[in-house]
Chain A
Amino acid sequence: MNRKLLFLFILIILPKLSLGQYYFRMSAEFSIKEKFIDGTSSLSVGKMYYDANFKKLVFDLSFPKKQMLVFVDSSMLIIENNKIIDTQKFSAFQEFSIYHLALTGKLIDFGMKNSMYSIQNVEKEGDMVITTWLPEERLKKVLGEIVMSMKDKTLYGIAFYNAEGVLAGKQILRNYQKVGAFSFPGEVIQMSYLKDGSEAIKLYNYSNVTVNETGKDHIYNYIAQ
């Protein structure tokens, strides 16, 4: 009898416990620094907002100019002074963004589990667990392998190889920020290598990460005028 009661109690309490782990929206201050191959550079500073239910991604930029970029459905809206100044169409789905992956707990493998890649090998090297992913057979002419490393149970690095097996680029995710059970990289370093040997570097920094913020639906569910 007691066992039955215990089972019933667990059955009732379990959804409530898992609800506590449910993250649906996040915001963060960000900066994106970029070094181009020609030696020039760029800087973008602002705040980002993402809601996994509304599937709207908002970048509220303060630099280089006061502007909002809103990604909704298959459009990117460029907004200045609350007015849409331009709309660009594209084939996109926010489900693959780093923010959506983090909120849904899929950042650990960067969403690779549901991609056109499958695991070829897993090995431990020092403090890292290295996973090698191979593309589907039909894509091997175009895509190369992807190598991922995990450190302290978080995703640390991703390396991309082209179909010829040459390193095309890599990303390092580190300085994770924790908000309860939610964690998000405070720094993402992206390095791309071109065939001529040149290198382009992009640096993403995130700070003041907030999750499940209430009362800001006008931003998270931004409706353009």
Chain B
Amino acid sequence: MKLKSFFLLAVMALTVSGSYASKKDVFSFDEAKLNAEFSGLNELESKVKADKNLTYDVLVKSGEADKYNLNAGSMTSPSLGMGEPPLGIPSFLWGCVFGVIGILIVYLISEDKEETKKALYGCITFGIVYVIVYILVFASYATTTTTI
């Protein structure tokens, strides 16, 4: 019986230690793979920076656009991107315009759940109201302080 319990505990201990993954590991990625995937775009970026008159239309006319497998939709109008842009914002701007909130919205809306969309619209509306109230309170406080 004691031996059985010992083995049971040992198996449990191994299972726990095996399933434990360091949170730090989530931030690792394959640098070489990333460089390989973006080598074509890096080359195009260098060309664009060297020639300020180089646009997507010029690339299409010269027949070079296909070489970089560019997405025609997002290149002809950054406001379109792939399919319906979430909340009408160009997808390529989400990461920088809205920081963490924007990224979350893109992840969640890309799952295309109506419920999720509604919840996020609610959150955003709350956020806007919060910012407006904050500004109004701050403005009225500033006015009061100045008049004193």
Q: Does A44 contact B (CB under 8 A)?
A: yes
Q: Of the listed stretches A2-10, A16-24, A156-164, A215-223, name the one at the interface; the rest are far from the partner chain.
A: A156-164
Q: Does A67 contact B (CB under 8 A)?
A: yes
Point out the residues of chain A lying under 8 angstroms from B127, CB to CB: 93, 96
Report the number of A-B residue pairs with Cβ-Cβ less than 8 Å: 194
B89 contacts A42, C-beta separation under 8 Å:
no
| A128-174 contacts to B (CB < 8 Å) | 128, 130, 132, 139, 142-143, 146-147, 149, 156-160, 162, 167-172
Q: Is the contact region of chain A dominated by helix, strand, or loop, or is it mixed?
A: strand
Q: Of the listed stretches B3-11, B12-20, B70-78, B139-147, name the one at the interface; the rest are far from the partner chain.
A: B70-78
A202 contacts B97, C-beta separation under 8 Å:
no
A38 to B106 CA separation, bound complex (whole angstroms): 17
In the complex where A93-B128, A128-B24 touch, is A169 in contact with B103 (Cβ < 8 A)?
Answer: yes
Q: Which of B78, B104, B124 is within 8 Å of A44, CB to CB?
A: B78
Q: Does A52 contact B (CB under 8 A)?
A: no
Q: Nearest residue in B to A48 (C-beta to C-beta)?
A: B96
In the complex where A96-B101, A142-B119 touch, is A170 in contact with B27 (Cβ < 8 A)?
Answer: yes
B79 contacts A191, C-beta separation under 8 Å:
no
A71 to B111 CA separation, bound complex (whole angstroms): 26
Point out the residues of chain A lying under 8 angstroms from B41, CB to CB: 33, 35, 41, 43, 203
Q: Shortest Cβ distance from A133 into chain B, in angstroms?
A: 9
B34 contacts A201, C-beta separation under 8 Å:
yes
Q: Does A64 contact B (CB under 8 A)?
A: yes
Q: Does A108 contact B (CB under 8 A)?
A: no
> Which range contains the number of A residues in contact with the other chain?
35 or more
A143 to B111 CA separation, bound complex (whole angstroms): 12
Point out the residues of chain A lying under 8 angstroms from B133, CB to CB: none
Q: Does A84 contact B (CB under 8 A)?
A: no
Point out the residues of chain A lying under 8 angstroms from B37, CB to CB: 35, 201
A162 to B113 CA separation, bound complex (whole angstroms): 13
A38 to B146 CA separation, bound complex (whole angstroms): 58
A149 to B24 CA separation, bound complex (whole angstroms): 8
Q: Does B63 contact A (CB under 8 A)?
A: no
Point out the residues of chain B lying under 8 angstroms from A192, CB to CB: 106-107, 110
Q: Which of A40, A86, A162, A195 is within 8 Å of B69, CB to CB?
A: A40
B70 contacts A149, C-beta separation under 8 Å:
no
Q: Mark A52-74, 1 if CB is under 8 A from B, else 0.
A: 00000101011111110101000
Point out the residues of chain B lying under 8 angstroms from A125, CB to CB: 22-24
Q: Mark A193-208, 1 if CB is under 8 A from B, else 0.
A: 0110000011110000
- Report which residue of A59, A86, A123 has the largest number of chain B beta carbons within 10 angstroms of its beta carbon: A59
Q: A63-B56, A88-B88, A91-B124 are in contact. List 12 more A-B contacts (CB 8 A).
A: A41-B41, A42-B71, A43-B75, A96-B127, A98-B95, A110-B100, A111-B100, A125-B23, A128-B24, A158-B100, A162-B108, A192-B110
Could you pull out 9 A-B pairs where Cβ atoms are within 8 angstroms?
A64-B55, A65-B76, A69-B90, A112-B100, A115-B101, A201-B34, A202-B92, A203-B34, A203-B38
